[in-house]
Amino acid sequence: MSWNEKRDATKDQLRRLNKAIPDAAKAFSGLGKAVKEGGVLDFKTKEFVALGIAVGLRCEACIVLHMEALIRAGATRDEVGDVLAMSIQMGGGPAMMYAAKAMECFDELSAD
């Protein structure tokens, strides 16, 4: 499955889940909005943190959604590479494998 297909499938899954548990989904969405709009770090920096965590936790769905947000926020391939390098340093071999997936995701999604 391509990263574009994975992104679309993930969004479809989340839409179905949100319909099944609307109150919880609304609360989670509110938390996300508060975290992304508040504080001292800018949106792009917060998305870089989220990407690093996604790689460390080996969550492909998280990788694709945060990568899409980073591309929209103007992240460069070099910036993404720095974050992935830090993720590898913190997470070892498994993080290296998911960092490779994340870079592939950046390349595919940014080519659109």
The residue extents of the domains of the chain are 3-110
Average pLDDT estimate for 53-63: 96
How many CA atoms lie less than 13 Å away from 36 in the CB half-sphere?
Answer: 15
pLDDT per position as a tens digit, 3-46 = 999 999 999 999 999 999 999 999 999 999 999 998 999 999 99
Q: Among 3.40.50.1000, 1.10.760.10, 1.20.1290.10, 3.30.70.260, what is the CATH number of 3-110?
A: 1.20.1290.10
| The model's pTM | 0.88
- Helices 60-72 and 43-57: crossing angle in degrees, nearest 10, is 160
- pLDDT bin (cut points 50, 70, 90) of residue 1 is confident
- Which pLDDT score is estimated for 112? 76
The string of pLDDT tens digits covering residues 59-93 is: 999 999 999 999 999 999 999 999 999 999 999 99
